[in-house]
Amino acid sequence: MIDRFTVFIGVFALAFFLQEIGHTYMISVIQSIERQFHIPSKLTGFMVSASDIGYIPTVIFISYFGSKGNRAKWIGTGTLLVSLCCIMISTPNFLFPVRVPYLNVTNIQKKLEPPSELLDNKASINDYLNFTPISDGIPNDLKMRLLEKVVQFDALKHTAKRDFAPTGYEEHDNKSTRGLYTIDQPVMRQVLSHIKGFLNGSEGERPLINALSLYAHHRANNTENDLAITRRAAIAPFSFCGKVVNDLRTTVKDLKCEKKQSNFGPFVIIFTALVLLGVGKSTSWSLGMPLIDDNVKAKSTSLYFGGITLVRIMGPICGFLVGSIANHMYYSFPAKPPHGLSPTDPTWIGAWWFGYLLVGTLGIIPSLLLCFFPRKGSKVSPNQPSLKFFDKHRASESGKEKVTFMANYREVLASKVFLGSVIARVLDMFAFRGYKTFVTKYLSLHYGLPLFKATTYVALCMTLMFAAGTVLGGIFTRVSKLNGRQAAMFIVVLSVLNLMGFGTKGFLGCKSVVSQVGEMGRQSAFNFTNSCNDGCGCEEASLYPVCDSEGNAFYSPCHAGCRDVNVKNADTYDMVFTNCDCVANELRTVSKSNCQDDCSTMTFLFFAFSAFSAFCSGLGMVPHIMILLRCVRVGPREGTEPPRGGGGGKAAADGVTTDAGDK
């Protein structure tokens, strides 16, 4: 029959595992929270530290007073609080939804409606070119050459009979979604073809006039549909050259600025939940590890500690994996994302709330089970006392309790070994906490990795190697039977190796597509407008890096001067932007698939050194825990329990033993 301690270990490990997922999950989704609620990084960095704000002031008191009650119930209450806080963190997504602003599109609609003179037989080529939708669809160089040729032929007021049936009318490809963002693309392609024929002398003016007239008549009969296409293009994650579309994009942005939602509400809710989460998570480690230490044989302590530490490491691994899944879903899930927006885009917002809702719900069950554990349990072995879920301290008088509390902590702080270990841990957290919080964002911006890939690689490479190091460190500690000085020296060597690995990563630079765009911006004072895209209205264009066939990067298709969008497959977001004025080659096309960088090798080296550093850190985890637990006598460690087997004096004299024997 399974004894209660085994049941406790299983339930505790599950609750602790889910707690660590919730604690680490924030790191993988912080960028999505920033994007959805427009919270700057300086605030999110402070927000992430909120759990420490709740943890640090409370862990001392909870570890002391919690040891005087049923520690299983204290742990269960803490993990239950963590679960409820995870659910609370997810609520801003539902309490503060993104509101769709109401647009007054009267001016845009007027620009889409052709003037009456374009619908009779007296319009000239110049009149057609003054119609904004036609002007937007013709590249600048073709437009200038066309005007020059028309002047030469004195045809500014040329009229002709319209037959409204341009030859070679191009049918839609069933696998293509042309016209999803551009108006009447097949007819406009015919217009461009006839312009080229007119310029090279292979055609006269009539085919061109017929095509222009057909385009104008289509606008008169399809104004509502044209407006719908224009609205879709204006809110797309990318922008292309088009005065009408980009004017509407500017109108949308101005309206959002006028009715900008404050990020105060989401920030306060998430911050408060993280503070309470820090309070809740203070019970598991501070009470759980001494409880286990009290109820297992001394020679098995390192293995149990290694196993629980492994659970503590596997939690972050799964946290990153859950974050990867959530970042692959759009934040409006189950609704589909806008057409053309994929998880590889810099403006993608993942469903960050999904993981918190999932973990919080799952964590309630094991937390409640811990809350109902009884005071006493079966013996682990004949040589050990009964299992103490309810600690064996006697209740002291309230007047003496404060004196005892202060005396115990004065004794703990008087231990030079303990104080040195704590200072080392604090310095380690100063160096590592900021790195851990923003490493996925750094990988996304510096190496061009999509956010969901960055979180997956961090989980599988860094955190998994840390877990492997922790397991091997626990085995090594038991087999080698290190004393205190040997364990400390072992940690020093590992720290030096870890420092070398981290320091090397600072020199692993590369030129990703995003960094290429950034370098171009620095050279031009971040003004990406030039003569080839001057009339495109790209001022409000969002970052959407694309490249031509030679790999030259552009801030957006609009800044490449592209006037046409060909969505080859809406499901895979395979898009090609054509008729690009700023592209020097003959193809005059750009796409995201053309973008290549030299970051593959450097990315591999970054994760290789990260894996090495993480493995070294993991190797020193169990020896460090053993030093902390053995450097003071048992009483101050978790309350007023008297020393056992010689107490703390012997441990201090022996230099802190970590092998089997006296605890």
Per-residue pLDDT tens over the stretch 432-468 = 777 777 787 788 777 877 777 887 787 777 777 887 8
Range of weakest confidence among 71-80, 589-598, 633-642, 650-659: 650-659
What are the sequence ranges of the domains in the chain? Answer: 4-98+261-510+601-653, 515-599
Q: Would the pLDDT of 116 be above 50? A: yes
Q: Please enumerate in sequence order all residues whose Cβ is within 8 A of that of 251, keeping only pairs 6 or more positions apart, or say none.
A: 103, 104, 105, 108, 234
Sign of CA dihedral 543, 547, 551, 553: negative
Going by pLDDT thresholds of 50, 70 and 90, the confidence category of residue 374 is low
Give the E-state strand segments of 164-274 in sequence order: none
Say what the pLDDT of residue 6 is. 75
- CA separation for the pair 73, 390 (Å, rounded): 9
Q: How far is CA 428 from CA 195, 286, 319, 320, in A?
A: 68, 19, 22, 22
Rounded CA gap, 219 and 115, in Å?
Answer: 10
What H or E segment, with its residue span, contains residue 262? none
- The stretch 343-359 carries a mean pLDDT of 81
DSSP lists the bridge partners of residue 70 as: 390
Report pLDDT for 663: 41
Which tops the pLDDT comparison, 79 or 649?
79
Would you say residue 166 has pLDDT above 50?
Answer: no
**What is the three-class DSSP state of 53?**
helix
Which segment of 171-185, 290-304, 538-552 scores lowest on mean pLDDT? 171-185
Q: What is the mean pLDDT of residues 560-567?
A: 86
| The residue count for the chain | 663
- What is the identity of the amino acid at 7? V
* pLDDT at position 36 over 50: yes
Distances (CA, A) of 127 to 121, 134, 135, 209, 397: 12, 10, 10, 11, 97
Res 190: pLDDT: 86
- With a cut of 60, say whether residue 359 has pLDDT above it: yes
Q: What is the reported pLDDT for 258?
A: 57
User: Would you give the DSSP letter of residue 531?
Assistant: G
> In the prediction, which pLDDT does 570 show?
59
What is the CA angle 555-559-560, rounded to 5? 100
Burial 513-532 (b: 16+ CB within 10 A, else e): bbbbbbebeeeeeeebbeeb
pLDDT at site 250: 79
- pLDDT tens for 614-662 read 888 888 887 887 777 666 655 544 433 333 333 333 333 333 444 434 4
Which of 17-21, 283-287, 300-304, 484-488 has the largest mean confidence?
17-21
Residue 88: pLDDT band with limits 50, 70, 90? very high
DSSP one-letter code for 575: E
Average pLDDT of the chain?
A: 75
**Structure confidence at residue 46 as a pLDDT band (50, 70, 90):** confident
CATH class of 4-98+261-510+601-653: mainly alpha
Beta-ladder partners of 376: 388
Q: How far are the Cα atoms of 52, 65, 233, 640 from residue 429, in angstroms, in the given order?
A: 11, 26, 46, 29
Contacts of 15 (CB under 8 A, 6+ apart): 75, 76, 79, 284, 363, 366, 367, 370
The pLDDT assigned to 155 comes to 44
CB 209 within 8 A of CB 201: no
**Residue 120 exposed, middle or buried by CB count within 10 Å (0-12, 13-18, 19+):** exposed
Count of beta carbons in the 10 Å neighbourhood of residue 497: 17
pLDDT at 237: 76
**H or E, element range at 553:** strand 553-554
Mean pLDDT of 384-406: 52
Residues 6+ apart with CB under 8 A from 161: 121
Contact assessment for residue 296 and residue 304, using Cβ atoms and an 8 Å cutoff = yes
SS3 155: coil
Chain-centre distance of CA 285, in angstroms?
Answer: 27
- Give 153-161's long-range contacts (Cβ < 8 A, gap of 24+): 153/205, 155/124, 155/125, 155/205, 156/124, 156/125, 156/126, 157/122, 157/124, 158/124, 158/125, 158/205, 158/209, 159/121, 159/122, 159/123, 159/124, 159/209, 160/121, 160/205, 160/206, 160/209, 160/210, 161/121
Confidence of residue 376 (pLDDT cuts 50, 70, 90): low
Q: Give the mean model confidence (pLDDT) for residues 177-195.
A: 78
Token code pair at residue 80: 């239950």
Which one is predicted more confidently, 574 or 194? 194
Pairing of strands 553-554, 546-547: antiparallel
Task: Give pLDDT tens digits for 100-115.
Answer: 555 566 777 778 888 8
- Express as a percent the part of the chain with pLDDT over 90: 1
Exposed/middle/buried for residue 199 (C-beta within 10 Å: 0-12, 13-18, 19+): middle
C-beta of residue 640 within 8 angstroms of C-beta of residue 548 = no
Is there a contact between 297 and 381 (Cβ–Cβ < 8 Å)? yes
In what helix (H) or strand (E) does residue 393 lie, and over which residues does it extend?
none
pLDDT of residue 526: 76
**pLDDT given for residue 84 in this prediction:** 92
Q: According to the model, what pLDDT value does residue 569 have?
A: 66
Express each pLDDT in 499-517 by its tens digit: 888 888 878 877 777 777 8
Question: Is the bond into 133 cis (omega within 30 degrees of 0)?
Answer: no
Q: Which residues contact 193 (CB under 8 A, 6 or more apart)?
A: 168
Tokens of 58: 């409370």
Is residue 327 within 8 A of residue 29, CB to CB? The reply is: yes
pLDDT band at 340 (very low <50, low <70, confident <90, very high): low
Task: Please provide the DSSP assignment of 134-153 as one string.
Answer: HHHHS-HHHHHHHHHHHHHT
Containing 564, the helix (H) or strand (E) segment is strand 562-569
Residue 32: pLDDT band by 50, 70, 90 thresholds? Answer: confident
Cα four-point dihedral sign 495, 498, 504, 506: negative
Hey, is 469 helix, strand or coil?
helix
Task: Identify the CA nearest to 421 among candidates 500, 501, 483, 484.
Answer: 484
For 467-476, what is each residue's pLDDT tens digit?
A: 788 888 878 8
d(Cα 348, Cα 514) in Å, to the nearest integer?
15
pLDDT (0 to 100) of residue 168: 41
Predicted pLDDT of residue 378? 44
